[in-house]
Amino acid sequence: MSLLSHGAAPRWTAVLLLWAALCCLFVPAVTVKHENFKTCDQSGFCKRNRAFADQVSAASSYTSPYAIVAPSVTFKKGQLEAIVLKTVKESGERVPLPLTITFLESGVARVTLDEEKRAKGQVELRHDSKARKERYNEAGQWALVGGLHPAEGAALVETTDAGYTKVVYGKGGSHQAIIRHSPFSIEFQRDGETQVRFNERGFMNMEHWRAKVEKPVEEKKEGEEEKKEEEKSEEPQGEDESTWWEETFGGNTDSKPRGPEAVALDISFPGYEHVFGIPEHATRLSLKTTRGGDDAYTEPYRLYNADVFEYEMDSPMTLYGAIPFMQAHRKGSTVGVFWLNAAETWIDVTKKKNTVNPLSLGLKSSTDTQTHWMSESGLLDVFVFLGPTPQDLTRQYGELTGFTAMPQSFAIAYHQCRWNYVTDEDVKDVDRRFDKFNIPYDVIWLDIEYTQEKKYFTWDPLTFVNPDKMQKQLDKRSRKLVAIIDPHIKNTDNYHVIDELKKKDLAVKNKDGNQYEGWCWPGSSMWIDCFNPAAIEWWKSLFKYDKFKGTAHNTFIWNDMNEPSVFNGPETTMPKDNLHHGNWEHRDVHNINGMTFHNATYQALTERKRGDARRPFVLTRAFYSGSQRSAAMWTGDNLAEWAHLEASLPMVLNQGISGFPFAGADVGGFFGNPSKELLTRWYQAGIYYPFFRGHAHIDTRRREPYIPGSPYTEIITQALRLRYQLLPAWYTAFHEASTTGAPIIRPNFYVHPEDEAGFAVDDQLYIGSTGLLAKPVTKEGADSVSIYIADSQPYYDYFDYTTYTGAGHHTVPAPLDKIPLLMQGGHIIPRRDRPRRSSGFMKYDPFTLVVVLDKDGNASGTLYLDDGETFDYQSGAFIHRRFDFDGARQILMSANLVADTPSKLALRYVKSMEKVRVEKIIIVGAPRAWKDKDEVIVMEEGQKESKRKKAVALEYHDKVGNKAAWAVVRRPGVGIGRGWRIDFGEKVEHEHHGHEH
Ligand code: NOJ
């Protein structure tokens, strides 16, 4: 957000209303302010490392100056240690860099390189800085939660004399790392084939500590330029020192007390044409290259969490969050790297035709992807994943950084937000209107204007007179409130929060060690430093119901501006030489900062009231690896333009494969006023965002679903109802994500990893494991879409069962009132069909199962259910069923997926769901043989003998044109938490009584 768009705190007055209305009449064309953000050339270490890479690439002969000291190599219990020496060309100095390679039980390898002198504190800092001397080594404490156990089975195979060290690890010894000593490089192999290579191109660079030498300013002599050009073809020349000791950008000077300290490494993926990941960027799923050429970027992908005002499409520019996890994919294999570093990071991506004989190519692509990672400071700390499947990658990455938290069920329903609902009466009015128009919604949001002068934890007494009453009204319909709380604390008198922050000394400090003061929504502000455990404790205290008065059990929190956004700071954030707890410089921890804040809020919400443990809901804008454990994210301030709608799909898909799947974009677009068509299409797409929220800027016109009128309101309502109908499928997908790391919405390559033609497809998505394939309309005026089908299964239109078969593109009609959604044959999809006002009201609703037969007449699916609110599911209080339709036996069965003996809580939960039944079973692609059948036999476990088996009517609908035949069993009456079977066959197998399978 810019200062211009929202300078002074607006009050809800008639004048403002008028002003806002006038603003709406004219929405200027908007574009990002490039000059506010650095290019690689303007970021000293990026420029240096890129230039170094160029020199190395151009040099006729070049040897990387890093080498392992062979006798230093030790190997114990899955961990290799050694000293790498960097030889400084100019001085001949040898810089010791301790290397650790840990081979983890999961088959992942972790490579860590430190710098001995800094680690031992044998360096001097300039400007009397109090900053820590070490390279930042605590990123793992924030990002990692498990998966770190070294593999006892990893074995050292060869060493020393051969000039390399070989370690065999991974399942069945299928992986090996070949660590070459001089120059230092590593090849990671799976089944004898190299998948990932470190320092292949010699771009590795660890800027060692050195004292500043004051050099006399040299005058440029004639002919100097030419000399430089000549030198380029030889070895890389002396380093560019101009940004070693100080850097200025946009009027801010970074004092850089530790001098140059970048880490960089080239990582190659031989035979891999596609790389994905490293969010957050407004770009395609399959990452474009970054060093010029056709349809390529010229800037590297940047990861430096920032509040980028009116961000642009199709760009490697940084955005609000950073996940330095990249995966490379080809037919038959997915591998990846996780670059655990929280400092500003840039990543160049290039592709190269390889020289592999095409006949011996096998599954490999004839293209290699080469990447170059550059971070400003910190350790070199990289995890290497050798797959071989995309599922292995998301699971292993999730084991390290945590799986997405299981949200409350309301959190995956629809959220209604705008900047701002301006009074408590306004909130209540919006709430009533949703009811009046029969539109379901679960959550209404309050942006910053609810506070008194942007003082968080307060309510504006003139506009939010009775928050309790407001929340009671919401609660009546089982609805929730989300209120915003930002990390900047207004620096003013008579405000208990700033008083405590100052007194307890819990704010981020400036380079001189004084509490840092900057500018944000409230004007002069200070920032809570959540790296400090004491700050987290204090933060928790602020959310207690008796402290944050006016909040209730149905109030949840939105953490915004936590990059952190500082209006008068360099690149709209904090100076890099600011200091955090432990005297780490902001530069070291920048990308983690936002996560520490939303983590603290998450903890605070779990402890609001003793004995009342409900799952928190926190939305964050800034994020890092690990954020998935405690928050949902959204893609920030997009624009009400078709291009932004389109870009939201690859962005949200990318979040999913990068371990943070609870993601969405502002439906309708934040800035500007969408046309009614765009708004409608956005809702039709938004129902597929795992996090589904409509939001709008303060200067926009109101656009709640009931505003656009007929037919738009009805069409939007239908879209919302579709989301609500499929909530059981969504909840099951969330459960899968929270236990396996699988994305909630999935791109084509993830579901069909062997289908080369579909690797780059990023404008359509699968919902969890349901086989539901959606292709949202993102083009103005479209009345059809082209859906790409990767396999030979039949795909059925969700609404009318039109059948699409055959790999390739299919045209699916998509007039405005039609949502293109297909069901892949082979799945059983759980739904709840009764329209309700909110998801809370669906808790005990009956289920519909849609059995979508595959080409062999089989189908299966799962359903996960719990109380949707508490943590009891962690003690087994859930229902987890598997449904199978066996085409050969003509039997549909429900089996229990819970293996353990049920706990008390589990039994209590199952009992509470006893009356919840299946009310309808629809079989799509029903066999012709059922035409004359009018009954099926239903058998259920746990019923009295007399009730165990009964006949229920079957209704068969013949195929019409290309619309598949379908059948329906109404009111089979079987319990959703029970074992049962339904026999569709000709003969009734009387000897088989219902039992669990
Ligand atoms: C910036 C956020 O991105 C936006 O969603 C919000 O409305 C404003 N801050 C005001 O809080």
The average pLDDT across 575-587 equals 98
pLDDT class of 217 with cuts at 50, 70, 90: low
Residue 766 CB partners (closer than 8 Å, separation 6+): 745, 746, 747, 748, 750, 751, 772, 773, 774, 824
Spatial distance between the Cα atoms of 888 and 873, rounded to a whole number of angstroms:
36
pLDDT tens digits, one per residue of 615-664: 999 999 999 999 999 999 999 999 999 999 999 999 999 999 999 999 99
**What tokens does 52 get?**
């170094």
Please give the residue that has the higher pLDDT: either 991 or 631.
Answer: 631
Average pLDDT over residues 193-203: 98
CA 108 to chain centre: 21
Closest protein CA for atom 4 of ligand 1: 637
Q: Is pLDDT at 401 greater than 50 in this prediction? A: yes
636 Cβ closer than 6 Å to some ligand 1 atom: yes
Handedness of CA 498, 502, 507, 512 (dihedral sign): positive
| CB 560 near ligand 1, within 6 Å | yes
Cβ 443 under 6 angstroms from ligand 1: no
At 474 the three-state DSSP class reads: helix
> Pocket of ligand 1, candidates 561, 562, 691: which has the most ligand atoms within 8 Å of its Cβ, to mutate?
561
* Any ligand 1 atom below 6 A from CB of 1: yes
Judge whether 457 and 547 are in contact, CB under 8 Å. Answer: yes
Ligand 1 atom with the smallest distance to the CA of 670 is 5
The predicted-structure confidence for 718-744, as pLDDT tens digits, reads as follows 999 999 999 999 999 999 999 999 999
Burial environment of residue 782 by CB neighbours within 10 A (0 to 12, 13 to 18, 19 or more): middle
Q: Above 90 in pLDDT, residue 450?
A: yes
- The predicted-structure confidence for 458-483, as pLDDT tens digits, reads as follows 999 999 999 999 999 999 999 999 99
Does residue 604's CB lie within 6 angstroms of at least one atom of ligand 1? no
How much is the pLDDT for 38? 98
Whole-prediction pTM value?
A: 0.94
Question: How far out from the chain centre does Cα 517 lie?
Answer: 31
Nearest atom within ligand 1 for CA of residue 448: 11
CA dist., res. 761 & res. 653, Å (int): 11
Give CA–CA dist 394/399, Å, rounded: 9
Mean pLDDT value of segment 45-61: 97
Instruction: Please give the Cα distance from 508 to 498 (Å, whole number).
Output: 13
Assess whether 637 carries a catalytic annotation. yes
For residues 139 and 994, the model is more confident at 139
Fold topology of 750-983: Immunoglobulin-like (2.60.40)
Ligand 1 pocket test: pick from 422, 637, 667 the residue with the most ligand atoms within 8 Å of its Cβ: 637
Confidence (pLDDT) at 612: 83
448 ligand 1 Cβ < 6 A = yes
Ligand 1 in reach of 563 Cβ (< 6 A): no
Judge if the beta carbon of residue 488 lies within 6 A of ligand 1. no
Counting from 1 in the atom list of ligand 1, the atom nearest the Cα of 320 is 3
Residue boundaries of the structural domains of the chain: 66-209+259-401, 415-746, 750-983
CA separation for the pair 904, 790 (Å, rounded): 45
Q: For every residue of 175-215, which 3-state class applies, written as one string?
A: EEEEEECCCCEEEEEECCEEEEEECCCCCCEECCCCCCCCC
Q: Which residues pair with 963 in a beta bridge?
A: 802, 960
Testing ligand 1's pocket by substitution, the residue of 3, 311, 520, 670 carrying the most ligand atoms inside 8 A of its CB is: 670
The string of pLDDT tens digits covering residues 290-299 is: 999 999 999 9
Which of 239-248, 563-572, 944-953 is least confident? 944-953
Torsion over CA: 240, 242, 248, 250 (sign): negative
Q: Is the pLDDT of residue 511 over 60?
A: yes
The active-site residue out of 299, 424, 637, 866 is: 637
Cβ–ligand 1 distance for 668 under 6 Å, the answer: no
Atom of ligand 1 nearest to the CA of 695: 5
Residue 994 has a pLDDT of 39
The response to whether residue 447 sits with its C-beta less than 6 Å from ligand 1 reads: yes
Number of the ligand 1 atom closest to the C-alpha atom of 637 = 3
Distance 458 CA to ligand 1 centre (A): 18
CA of 418 to the centre of ligand 1 (A): 9
Task: Kindly give the distance from the C-alpha atom of residue 1 to the centroid of ligand 1, in angstroms, as a whole number.
Answer: 7
Q: With 70 as the cut, is the pLDDT of residue 220 above it? A: no
Kindly report which listed range (98-107, 108-117, 939-948) carries the lowest average pLDDT score: 939-948
- Per-residue pLDDT, 441: 98
Report the percentage of the chain scoring pLDDT > 90.
Answer: 88
How many other C-beta atoms are found inside a 10 Å radius of the C-beta of residue 168? 18
Q: Which atom of ligand 1 is nearest to the CA of 1?
A: 1
Name the region of 718 (left: φ>0; alpha: ψ -120 to 50; beta: rest).
alpha
Ligand 1 center to 681 CA (angstroms): 23
**CA pair distance 338, 383, nearest whole angstrom:** 5
- Matching CATH topology for 66-209+259-401 and 750-983? yes
The residue from 563, 571, 699, 763 that is catalytic is: 563
pLDDT digits (tens, 9 = 90+) for 822-858: 999 999 999 999 999 999 999 999 999 999 999 999 9
Fold adopted by 415-746: TIM Barrel (3.20.20)
C-alpha pair distances (Å), 576 with each of 207, 448, 509: 18, 27, 11
Whether ligand 1 lies within 6 angstroms of the CB of 68 is answered as no
User: Residue 349: which of 373, 365, 366, 333 has the closest Cα?
Assistant: 373
Ligand 1 binding pocket includes 419 (Cβ within 6 Å)? yes
User: Per residue in 958-990, pLDDT tens?
Assistant: 999 999 999 999 999 999 999 999 999 955 444
pLDDT at 229: 45
- C-alpha of residue 677 to centroid of ligand 1, in Å: 24
Task: For the chain, give the mean pLDDT.
Answer: 93
Share of the chain above pLDDT 70, in %: 92
Residue 533 DSSP symbol: H
pLDDT tens digits along 484-504: 999 999 999 999 999 999 999
pLDDT bin (cut points 50, 70, 90) of residue 222 is: low
What are 373's two structure tokens?
């990672």
Question: Which single residue is written with the structure tokens 């005990």?
Answer: 844
Whether 426 is catalytic = no
Q: Give the amino acid at 753.
A: P
- Assign domain 66-209+259-401 to a CATH class: mainly beta
Q: Distance from the CA of 794 to the center of ligand 1, in angstroms?
A: 44
Which atom of ligand 1 lies nearest, measured to the CA of 447?
A: 11
At 219, is the pLDDT very low, low, confident or very high (cuts 50, 70, 90)? Answer: low
Does the pLDDT at position 237 exceed 50? yes
Per-residue tokens: 508 = 């981020």
Residue nearest to atom 7 of ligand 1 (CA): 419
Cβ-contact 391, 659 below 8 angstroms: no
Give the distance (Å) from ligand 1 centre to CA of residue 560. 7
Q: pLDDT-based confidence at 359, cuts 50/70/90?
A: low
Q: Is the CB of 621 under 6 A from ligand 1?
A: yes
pLDDT band at residue 613, thresholds of 50, 70 and 90? confident
CA dist., res. 645 & res. 270, Å (int): 34
Mutate to test the pocket of ligand 1, among 2, 416, 419, 699 (most ligand atoms within 8 A of CB): 419
Residue 906 C-alpha to ligand 1 middle, in angstroms?
A: 41
pLDDT at 356 over 70: no
Among 91-95, 123-127, 360-364, 686-690, which is the least confidently predicted range?
A: 360-364
Mutation pick for ligand 1 pocket among 447, 484, 698 (CB with most ligand atoms within 8 Å): 447
Radius of gyration, alpha carbons of the chain: 29
CA of residue 506 to ligand 1 center, whole Å: 25
Determine if ligand 1 sits within 6 Å of the CB of residue 812.
no
- In ligand 1, the atom with minimum distance to the C-alpha of 666 is 5
CB–CB of 761/748 below 8 Å? Answer: yes
- Report whether residue 449 contacts ligand 1, using a CB cutoff of 6 Å: no
Active-site hit among 114, 399, 449, 560: 560
Residue 872 pLDDT exceeds 90: yes
Handedness of CA 466, 467, 470, 472 (dihedral sign): negative
Q: Which residues of 482-518 are buried (b: 16+ CB within 10 A; e: fewer)?
A: bbbbbbbbbbbeebebbeebeeeebbbbbbeeebbeb
Residue 563 is a catalytic residue: yes
- pLDDT given for residue 21 in this prediction: 45
